[in-house]
Structure formats: structure tokens, C-alpha cells
Amino acid sequence: MSEYDILIIGAGPIGLACGIAAKKAGLSYVIVEKGCLVNSLYNYPANMTFFSTSERLEIGGVPFMSLNNKPNRAEALEYYRRVTQVFSLNVHLFEEVKAVIKNKDNFFSITTSKNNYTAKHIIVSTGFYDIPVLMHVPGEEMNKVVHYYKDPHYYAFQKVLVVGAQNSAIDAALETWRKGAEVTMVVREKEIGERVKYWVRPDIINRIAEGSIKAYFSASVIEIRKNEVDIQTKDGPVTIANDFVIAMTGYRPGFDFLRKIGIELSNDESLRPSYDPETMQTNNKGIYLAGVVCGGMDTHKWFIENSREHADKIIKNILAMQEK
């Protein structure tokens, strides 16, 4: 059984930043990732452009060069892979952490899909991209409904319903419309989201205004069938012909996993995990949180650019505890 000072769960940008900080501090560590390296970024839409400029996505002090101010997904994959190589990070890929149990001597026993480990400290940097927020409507389980949008070509000349009005929904609506899809949007709110990338927002508003993309605001999906979708609009129910539904209804952290490893969640709808913002240590001493998982359901609070500093806070605290 391998023994480490720190076991880091998740090899997203922030898990990698934690690995770099641990390595620089001379602590032994392993990063265990259930998918490929930066798995969430890998699963982003193929043509996605970050809203952050490249220097704000940098970790470990390694410069991130991109062709434009705002890098795209392919450039980010290149960058984080190179950073992993430069620091020779100890990353175990395609290995899921299943259980974390604290022993009497305050060491943790970790069981993964492939191994068993012991570690003095755990960093949970599991993000929020693994579990989609469901609409809970009949038909949502059909193959024609996706919660992860990849590429527009597949939808060419098809009747596509896009649900949502934040960045992912707007990108999917515009891209598929530009590849010849007949696009309808169902938006719960009264208008296109305020947080939509400032250079994209006018594009979608103009496409809706000119009638190229049909949008129902203050509306929701009621039922999805093989060739149709029922929508509740502010003017009453509407049924439209439909081939595919791209449900960009958001994602949420793995709350069951957090509870299972002893992390308390707030009682309100944000389900924010309990941690000390100075040290990032949770109520379960020895377990730390890092990255976007910290926000609970509030997935717009933390980004790479403002959560990469979690890594240094955690390692500083671990070093301080060791000196005591």
C-alpha cells in the first residue's frame, strides 16, 4: 500500500496546482483522477473559448501562450499537459476515488477503483462538471437528449431545442444554427443571461430579434417525445417538432461523495461545503477543499482564475501543522 503526505482527488487545473505546490514544498503526494488529465476541460464543447485571458489560467508560474487573448479548449489541453510534464507530476489517471476513511491515528485510508493508499491529508478538487442538473421531465432519459454538447456538425439540418441561456446554451444555439440546424431555445428567465461572454451576447440577441433562432422566455420544457417537445410558455402550452434536445441546464458537484467522506453541507439550497476560507480545511480535519467544488450549487462563484490560490493556502496550512 502506497503512503503519501497528501492525496489529491481530481486532476483538473486546481488539483494540478495543488500537486505543484506540494512538490515545491517537498511533500510527497499523488493526484488521483477518474478520467483523463483535466477531464472536465477535455469534455467541454470542442470549439469552446474561455472567458478568461490565458495568464489568468496559469498555474505553477508557467506562462500560458495563446494565439488570442482568450485561449480555446485545445490550447488549454496543451498547456495543462505541458505543465504536468514540466513538473513531472505524480498523476494516476483513469482511477476513481471510491472511499476515504479516517483511521484512529488520524491517517486516511483511501480506496480507489484500482488501489489502496494511506495519506496524512486529503485535498478534494473534484469540480462540478460530472453531474448534470436534470430537468426531471418525461422523456429526458431518451438518447436524443444530451447534457454535454460537443460539436455542431452532428445537428446539421435537424430541429434542435436548446434549453438554458448561459454560456454553454448560447454557444450550442449559435454553433448549431450556423451549421444549418433549425434552433429553438427554451429559457426559464426573462432574457439571455447577464454572464454570457460579452462578445457573444449581442450575437444571440440579434439572431433572436431577427427571427433566425426562435426563443421562448419565461418558459420550461414539460415533456419530450420521439418527434416533439411540449413547452410551457407564458402564453400557454406549445408543442413543437423536434429531433434533438441540448439541455444546458448546468452541473453540480458530487454532493453524495462529499457527504460520504464526512464533509458537512449548508442547509440552504446552495449546499455549500463547510470549510475555513483561510486554510481551506473542512469540518473533517485533514480534508481540504480546492477549486470550484467549494461553491456547492453556486457554480459561478469560483473559477480557475480565483481558485488557483487555494493550492498555496492549503500547503501553507499543512506545513504549519507539521511544524507544531
Ligand X SMILES: Cc1cc2nc3c(=O)[nH]c(=O)nc-3n(C[C@H](O)[C@H](O)[C@H](O)COP(=O)(O)OP(=O)(O)OC[C@H]3O[C@@H](n4cnc5c(N)ncnc54)[C@H](O)[C@@H]3O)c2cc1C
Please, which of residues 108-147 interact with ligand X by CB under 6 A? Answer: 125-127, 129-130
Which one among 139, 291, 295, 296 touches ligand X, defined by CB under 6 A?
291
Question: Where does this chain touch ligand X (CB under 6 A) — which range of 135-143, 206-214, 299-307, 314-322?
Answer: 299-307
Task: Note whether 35 binds ligand X by CB under 6 A.
Answer: yes
Q: How far is the CB of 217 from ligand X (least distance, A)?
A: 22
Nearest approach, Cβ of residue 223 and ligand X (Å): 27
Q: What residues contact 205, with CB distance under 8 A and at least 6 apart?
A: 192
Q: Which of 4, 29, 44, 117 binds ligand X (CB under 6 A)?
A: 44
Pick between residue 14 and residue 231 the one whose CB is nearest to ligand X: 14
Sign of CA dihedral 13, 14, 15, 18: positive
Query: Does the footprint of ligand X cover residue 258 (CB under 6 A)?
Result: no
CB 44 → ligand X: shortest distance, Å?
5
Which position among 32, 172, 208, 248 is part of the footprint of ligand X (CB under 6 A)? 32
Compute the distance between CA of residue 303 and CA of residue 307 in angstroms, rounded to an integer.
6
The Cα–Cα gap between 296 and 194 comes to 21
User: Where in 168-227 is the site for ligand X (CB under 6 A)?
Assistant: 168
d(CA 242, CA 230): 10
Footprint (CB under 6 A) of ligand X, residues 50-69: 50-52
Span of 4-12, 132-140, 232-240, 263-271 interacting with ligand X by CB under 6 A: 4-12
| Contact pick of 27, 100, 162, 292 for ligand X (by CB under 6 A) | 292
- What are the DSSP E strand ranges found in the chain? 2-9, 29-32, 91-92, 97-102, 108-112, 116-124, 131-132, 145-146, 159-163, 182-186, 214-216, 220-224, 228-233, 236-241, 244-247, 251-252, 287-289
CB 131, min distance to ligand X, A: 10
Region of 236 (left: φ > 0; alpha: ψ -120 to 50; beta: rest) is left
Check if the beta carbon of residue 123 is closer than 8 Å to that of residue 314: yes
How far is Cα 31 from Cα 210, in angstroms, rounded to an integer? 50
Q: Which residue has the cell 480506496?
A: 111
Beta carbon nearer to ligand X, 192 or 229: 192
Q: Check if the beta carbon of residue 175 is closer than 8 Å to that of residue 213.
A: no
Q: Give the nearer residue to ligand X in terms of CB position, either 161 or 261.
A: 261
Q: Is position 304 an interface residue for ligand X (rule: CB under 6 A)?
A: yes
Number of residues forming the site for ligand X (CB under 6 A): 34
